[in-house]
Structure 1
Amino acid sequence: MKRVQGQEINSQTDEGQSPGDIEIDRQINHSMSRAISAFSARWLHLKDPPGLTDDLVMDTVESLWREVRRDILRVINRPCYRSAFTLFLFALTPIPARVSEEEESDGIPAQFCVQIALQQVLTLRALQKSLEFNGSKVSSISSTISSTTSPAPVTKDFLGIESMIYWAAMTFDTSSSLTLNTKSLLSPGLSLRLEQESSWRLVRTCTNVFHEDTETWRAQGIDITEERANQIIASAASWKLFVWKSAALVKEALREGREEDTVQLAFETAADAINQYSLTYHDLLKAILIMLDAMETAERMDLLEKMKVVKAGAEGSLFNCLIFGLNNHFYVPSGRSNRSPEESHNIMQYATAERPVSLDSSRRKVPLIAIDPYPHHVVAGVRILWKAVERNLENDWIDHSVAENMQDTMLKALRLLPQASKSVRTVRQQAEASFIGNRYIFNC
């Protein structure tokens, strides 16, 4: 039962564990470690160690991806929170650019991994009354019936960490229903109003409390400290997920041809969520554009007309995010550095704007967008914006030079994303082929 909870088996202390249980635990850890490596390998080129070539990066990315993919069935058959984490990570790991269509189709797809991981989380939560959680890792499930049915104390640590795990699963579940048109496993959606589901009711309550508590912040302004920034980000993140969920419900209602009353109710929920987000937190996110794109595809011009101002604001906000990611930089430790981390830290301490210091090859300056942990979100945003630019140019709402500059900015963003990803490379190549600047050159 320890494995289900999250506690790692220690062969030195767990005398009741068989060698087989200890070996399974080792395999779970190995699978998780490999998944972390495969997920991170796409950014290997940013380290720029000596002798690292593009081909070597691709070889490493492909090798790790194939190793994890071969192991996925075993991961699925070892249900625990570490296995769920492994499945989620592999689902976020892009297919390597050089992998053929045949090889891609000859294996378990990423979305299936998400669904299985969500199912594992549901199953593990169902066992909570028999769990003893220490907030760390997991170990074996006892084969005796009593071990899964007898009550055991549920600690505060367990409840806190289980809540974090469940919220992470809700994020994957909601993101999948929004971007991939899948049915939500953890949240019924259209079958109930969002306010009738305890998770979303709690999110709305917390947002209302935050809005009331921060009224003076918005009216008078505040000095942002690290604590306040963390508070704002945490609260905004939970409501952002509510916005995603409401947008996914609009897509689901349109996709399934629901009754007009259901469509209007889903639309009103999404519109209210968007207004609340804009009022309490910040400008709108690209999730709104995904919903509006679904409305346009369904030719619901009546709904689009109501969101005209929102759409323009969301597109502008998303484009500004791309510019921010291109123009702001982060220092990545380089594989060519001969200095210790302590030496580099001491050098940076004495650096000022008037007297910058050089770290030689110890650190590499890269745009923020190059280290975005969710490059597929950038890809999705660029695709929607690209479509908007072409539409606006066709309708003479923007001139040729503005459209070309916007597309050039989006191309720069795509070229900075990890090119080891098949989806990133494909979208970049499509964008380059349809770039207005190229068309102008060819026509000349």
Structure 2
Amino acid sequence: MRNRPRRKQFSSCDACRQSRVACDATKRGHQPNQTTWNGACSRCLSRNRKCTFKVQKSSLVSMFLLANHYGTYKWIGKSTSRLGKDESVIPVSVIGDLSDGAPLELGNEASNGRTENHVYETSPSEIVASHEAQLPIPTIESGDTLLAQWSKQIYHHIFSSIFGHCLGRNGCPFVNNPPSDIFLAPTKLFKDLDAYIDKQQAPREQDAQIEQFLDRAIQAFAARWLPVTTPKTPHLQEVIKKNWRALRRDMLRVINHPSYCSVLTLYLFGQTPVPAGVTSEEESDGISSAVCIQTALLHIQQLRHSCQFLNLPPAFVELESRAYWAGVMWDTTNSLLLNIRSSLTSGLKGACLEPAWKLARGFLASFHSKTEIWQKKSFEASEEEAQQVISAANVCSVYTWKTIASVKEALREGVEESDLMFSWDAFLDALDVFKSTIRPLMSTCQKRLHFLGQVERLKWYHVVLEYYLGILLLVETIEGAGRQDLLSKIVETRTGAELESFNVLKFGLESRYTITEHSTGTELVGKQISVSFIAIDPYPTHVVALVQLMTKAIKRRYQQGDIKQEVHSYLSSTLLKVLEELPPNSCVV
């Protein structure tokens, strides 16, 4: 049998070990049992990252703990003079069980077939002392418990509190029902719709399973904020990865079972970033976020069509219209940010001709008529009036995003100039609605922000950020297309968007939001945390996109001599602080 070079214990880095591929770290200078190394193997180098050897550290500690369990063995030190009477040696069989599954050699094999014991240069007490802080006292199970305790609160405060108002009395342009609730929880909405359908049809066994998947999706979606809310809890990344992997395995079942709970489950998973530590190979070996969101939109279309043939009450029709508005908002966001065609409404002329957008435009026109008296300078918005203004501003923002997506599609696909100008005129009309109706009232609300509740302040921040992000995305597209004729028409709009974008980012950085672990009635029970609006933004990828656009704008102004070095440094450092507040993996979805 041909002699092969013996594989040294702990010669593979963590990434190669997890992917079970060969690692050439030793060829690049890493020594086996060396726990810290600043280099990278070929595989990690191609991915622009350093090698880590965390498995090695934990395994060394585990060896010593097992050695204490097998008390009849002796620990071999660097020399026999260091050997105490009660010190232990770990048996070769035990060390083999701790490996990654492949046979490991502890030393050189003698000619007589016997194996010499490996000589360690560190005593057991030194190993334990150096790695005591890394001993997994809180287990992964405790991390699961933490996720279960916090996930619903995080989901409610971060996603549901904002999105629920968009579906309620003041936020849905498809429904005019003044007695309805101001807030409608998305989870309740989609579950109630399925319950109505089940009354008309035989209940399906998969429905209960889909609701379980929805609960898992809420946990996976909320998991990224756990490091923000509980930063010192061990094993969080392992818990986050475990939940994400389990949920992605279930996505095929969700895709093949159209229901309203499936729609929300798919959307939440589509908004869940790939956890840190997941390799690119593993990421590509499964369903992507984009596919999940597109499938959710397809389910909405299929369900709307099938429900036409069921004898459903008016209450269902109202709820279905609110769910469809949710789909329209998701579809518009997806179309604008990913540069793809919308699924629920048409592209180029959708913002003017389709029923959905006619209703949105009509809603804004009626809101202008209703609030003419509010436009006076002496008007002071109460909390209820502020809720109406912010909800209307969200409708205007979505409508504006649709017109921007239409302009981007026209420029991207090279349509006739007349079609491009049709979309451009629709965008200018949306700008006029915002300037004449929404902006004055939002400015009034801004003056009283500190007298409003934290939910209203968070909603105000979110709507303003989304609106100006859309404007700057359009500016970037027009510049890329070389259409200076169009850009010259919105110079003032561009300048205002850049100023307001920085202001809203700074406001989000300085404002605090309090989340309570558990509440019972009016009595608060459990832990409270206070974080910035930036840290709990439900769409952190939008914050990243706005920071990138503002970085370009600041650089342009500095190069043109509009701002000094001192101002440039201040603005840049503020944007950096914004990024530091975001949860991990905010730029990857």
Please say whether Structure 1 and Structure 2 have the same fold, judged by a TM-score greater than 0.5: yes
* Aligned twin of 1:316: 499
Q: Deviations over 1:114-149 (max 9, x none)?
A: 111111100000012333xxxxxxxxxxxxxxxxxx
Whether the aligned pair in 2 keeps the contact of 1:35 and 1:89 (CA below 8 Å) is yes
2:550 corresponds in structure 1 to 385
1: CA distance, partners of 2:512 / 2:191: 41
Change in 2 beyond 3 A, CA 1:16/1:415: closer
**What is the Cα deviation at residue 365 of structure 1?**
2.4
1:113 aligns with 2:329: no
Structure 1's consecutive aligned runs of 4 or more residues displaced over 4 angstroms after TM superposition are 2-5, 13-17, 339-345
What is the alpha-carbon distance in structure 1 between the residues aligned to residue 201 and residue 397 of structure 2?
A: 47
Equivalent residue in structure 1 for 2:570, among 399, 405, 409: 405
Question: Whose helix fraction is larger, Structure 1's or Structure 2's?
Answer: 1
Alignment partner, residue 194 of structure 2: 6
Counterparts in 2 of 1:295 and 1:420: CA distance versus 1, 3 Å: closer
Name which one, 1 or 2, has greater alpha-carbon Rg.
2
CA distance in 2, matches of 1:340, 1:272: 47
Structure 1 residue 48, shift from structure 2 partner: 2.4
Q: Which amino acid letter does the alignment assign opposite residue 315 of structure 1?
A: E
Query: Does structure 1 retain, via aligned residues, the 8 Å contact 2:221–2:271?
Result: yes
User: Does the 8 Å contact 1:28/1:83 carry over to 2?
Assistant: yes
From 52, 72, 76, the counterpart of 2:233 = 52
Check if 1:249 corresponds to 2:406.
Answer: yes
Match 2:383 to one of 226, 246, 250: 226
- 1:35 equivalent in structure 2: 217
Per-residue CA distance 1:154-176 (angstroms, 9 max, x = gap): 31211111011100000111011
Shift of 1:212: 1.6
1:307 aligns with 490
Q: Which amino acid aligns with 1:280?
A: T
C-alpha spacing 1:41/1:15, structure 2 compared with 1 (3 Å): same
Counterpart pick for 2:338 among 166, 170, 180: 180
The one-letter amino acid of 2:563's match is I
Contact 1:80–1:120 (Cα < 8 Å) also in 2: yes
The TM-score normalised by the length of structure 2 is: 0.60
Q: Secondary structure at the match of 1:369?
A: coil
Counterpart contact for 2:240–2:275, Cα < 8 Å: yes
Give the superposition deviation at 1:344.
4.9
SS of 1:83's equivalent in the other structure is helix
Counterpart of 2:130?
none
What amino acid is the match of 2:554?
A: V
Q: How does 1:210-221 map to 2 (within 5 A)?
A: 210-221=367-378
- 1:52 deviates by 0.8
How far 1:195 sits from its partner (Å)?
A: 2.4
SS class of match (1:331)? strand
Q: CA deviation at 1:403?
A: 1.4
The aligned counterpart of 1:76 is 255
1:298 aligns with 2:477: no
SS in 2 for 1:261: helix
Q: Distance in 2 between matches of 1:416 and 1:257?
A: 40
- Give the aligned residue type for 1:294: T
Cross-structure match for 1:418: 583
- Match of residue 163, structure 1, among 304, 321, 326: 321
Q: In structure 2, what is the equivalent of residue 189 of structure 1?
A: 347
The answer on whether the counterparts of 1:239 and 1:277 sit within 8 Å (CA) in structure 2 is yes
Cα 1:341–1:329 change in 2 (3 A) is: farther
Number of matched pairs:
374
Q: Rate the CA distance shift 1:126–1:334 in 2: closer, same or farther, 3 A.
A: closer
Q: Which residue of 2 aligns with 1:437?
A: none
Identity of aligned residues (%): 38
Q: Give 1:25 shift.
A: 2.1
Partner of 1:261: 418
The one-letter amino acid paired with 1:172 is: W
CA distance in 2, matches of 1:15, 1:195: 37
Q: 1:328 to 1:76 in 2, by over 3 A?
A: same
Secondary structure (helix, strand or coil) at the match of 2:369 reads helix
1:277 aligns with 434
| Deviates most, 326-335 or 95-104 | 326-335
Secondary structure at the counterpart of residue 195 of structure 2: coil
With over 3 angstroms needed to count, the CA separation of the structure-2 counterparts of 1:87 and 1:43, relative to structure 1, is same
The higher-RCO structure (CA 8 Å, 6+ apart) is 1
Pair 1:325 & 2:482 matched? no
RMSD: 2.7
Partner of 2:471: 288
CA offsets per residue over residues 26-60 of structure 1, 9 Å max, x none? Answer: 211111111110000111134428x613xx22112
Distance 2:262 2:378 in 1: 45
Q: Are the aligned partners of 2:196 and 2:316 in contact in 1 as well (CA < 8 Å)? A: no
Q: Shift of the alpha carbon at 1:93?
A: 0.8
- 2:153 is matched with none
Change (3 A) 1:264 1:14: closer
Which runs of 5 or more structure 2 residues have no equivalent in the other structure?
1-189, 440-463
Which stretches in structure 1 are left out of the alignment for 5+ residues?
132-151, 346-360, 425-444
What CA deviation, in whole Å up to 9, does each residue of 1:393-438 have, x standing for no partner? 22222222211111111111111111144639xxxxxxxxxxxxxx
> For structure 1, which segment, 315-324 or 98-107, has the greater mean C-alpha deviation from structure 2 after superposition?
98-107
Q: Residue 258 of structure 1 aligns to a residue in which SS?
A: coil
Mapping for residues 365-384 of structure 1, pairs under 5 Å: 365-384=530-549
Partners in 1 of 2:196 and 2:373 — Cα distance?
A: 47
Q: Which residue of 2 aligns with 1:103?
A: 282
Counterpart residue type for residue 488 of structure 2? E
Q: Measure the CA separation in 2 of the matches of 1:112 and 1:91.
A: 8
Task: Quote the Cα distance in structure 2 between the aligned partners of 1:219 and 1:34.
Answer: 49
